[in-house]
Amino acid sequence: MAFDDRPYMAKMNTLKEIKTANWSWVHINHPTELEAKQLARSFNFHELDLKDVLPPIQRPKLVDREQYLFMILLYPIYDRTTRKIHPVEIDFFIGKDFLVTGSSELFSPVADFFNKHKKDTAIKTVNNFVSPIELLYEILKRLEYYCLPMSIHISNDIDYIENAVFSKTDKAETINEVLRIKTNIVNFRKTMNRHTRVIQHLSGKVGKFFPDISHDILKGIVEDTEDLWMMLENYQDTIEAIQDSQLALLNYRSNKIMEIFTIFTTIIFASELIISLALLAFDSSFSILIDPLKFISFSSIWLVVILWMLVFFRKRRWM
């Protein structure tokens, strides 16, 4: 059935669409209330689902409606300015003869794929997909591939910071870098947290609208998501171990500084004590400087005490 032949659809307004012989693909960037109203008129989507495509970002889920499936997935996006990862929401309305996608911001894997085929007047590539579910599989596969370079970049950051921790433990930027990488891993994991469950749920619902399509069509996506999740778990364990090592090194360095400071303070205190006793032993504070014998005696006692303290600290392994 062609896109315009469905009785519950009105004429598309400003929504961009790609038509094939039997189905159509609509994609929206930054959905607003205007696009939500147009989708309501054109597809008769449930108002709760249309509300979910609007800000703020929703949690991943799959909703089974009578005429379509509504799915929300989150994907990570890397901000080159802040060098931080944050989630972007991708919405899917999956029907027997339509696929509607939307993203909370201009997300290049989906937008570029749509625009590429929008410019192709023959729509050759899209026509190669027998049904919307096959196109959905291609989109999900591209989104998974989009995540792989990001995970490799995190792995490279971990390798770099692991070496930097042992050579720059006193540098504030190294501490900040560890926290940045850890935050990116947490945000990455947060976005991919429910992917496997949602896609597995979708795989069980495919037969409702596409009885001729194998339920295993999404199996590859599930496996790739599980592999990516295992990589993220490994990254999290590694960065936590690096952070623990960094804190241990910082504590060790701080303890060594405090140890030296304590020894230095103890020697100064002992010197002041010796000087005070010497002043009490002699009638005049200047007599020590005037009388060479007194000065040599005082200096010898002071040096003996200081050397004894150093030897004592050394034997105790305090320095």
DSSP per-residue string spanning 81-133:
TTTEEEEEEEEEEEETTEEEEEESS--HHHHHHHHHHHH-TT-HHHHT-SSHH
Q: Would you say residue 90 has pLDDT above 70?
A: yes
Transcribe 265-296 into DSSP letters: HHHHHHHHHHHHHHHHHSS-TTHHHH-HHHHH
- Give the integer Cα–Cα distance in Å for 94 and 109: 19
Please check whether residues 182 and 276 belong to one and the same domain: no
CATH code for position 150: 3.30.460.20
Beta-bridged to residue 75, according to DSSP, are: 88
Q: Are residues 60 and 31 in the same domain?
A: yes
Same domain membership, residue 138 and residue 276: no
Is the same domain home to 127 and 267?
A: no
Residue ranges making up the domain that contains 207: 3-251
Domain count for the chain: 2
Other C-beta atoms within 10 Å of 243: how many? 17
Q: Check residues 303 and 189 and name the one with the higher pLDDT.
A: 189
Instruction: Give the tens place of pLDDT for each residue, 166-201.
Output: 775 556 778 889 999 999 999 999 999 888 899 989
Model-level pTM?
A: 0.75
270 and 299 together in one domain: yes
Please give the residue that has the higher pLDDT: either 107 or 11. Answer: 107
Do 44 and 132 belong together in one domain?
yes
The burial of 34, by beta-carbon neighbours within 10 Å (0-12 exposed, 13-18 middle, 19 or more buried), is given as exposed
User: What pLDDT shows up at residue 319?
Assistant: 62
Q: pLDDT per residue over 140-151, tens digit each?
A: 999 999 999 999
Angle at 44 between CA 12 and CA 96, to 5 degrees: 85
Cα–Cα dist 290/224, whole Å: 88
HSE-up of 231 (CA within 13 Å, CB side)?
A: 19
CA 9 to mean position of chain CA atoms = 41
> Is 169 strand, coil or helix?
coil
- Statement to judge: residues 181 and 257 lie in one domain: no
Residue where a domain stops, chosen among 233, 251, 269: 251
146 and 291, same domain (yes or no): no
Boundary residue ending a domain (251, 281, 307):
251
d(CA 4, CA 284): 112
What does residue 76 show for φ and ψ, rounded to 5 degrees?
-80, 145
Range of lowest pLDDT (98-107, 164-173, 186-195, 236-245)? 164-173
Tell me the C-alpha to C-alpha distance, in Å, between residue 305 and each of 93, 113, 269: 85, 81, 12
Of 85 and 208, the one with more pLDDT = 85
- Is there a single domain that holds both residue 35 and residue 177? yes
| Residues 154 and 221 reside in one and the same domain | yes
- Residue 51 vs residue 248, higher pLDDT: 51
Query: Which of 209, 226, 251 is the endpoint of a domain?
Result: 251
Q: Answer positive or negative: Cα dihedral of 164, 168, 169, 172.
A: negative
CA–CA separation, 309 and 319 (whole Å) = 11
Shared-domain flag, residues 213 and 304: no
Kindly state whether residues 110 and 23 are assigned to the same domain.
Answer: yes
The per-residue pLDDT for range 250-259, each reduced to its tens digit, is: 888 778 778 7
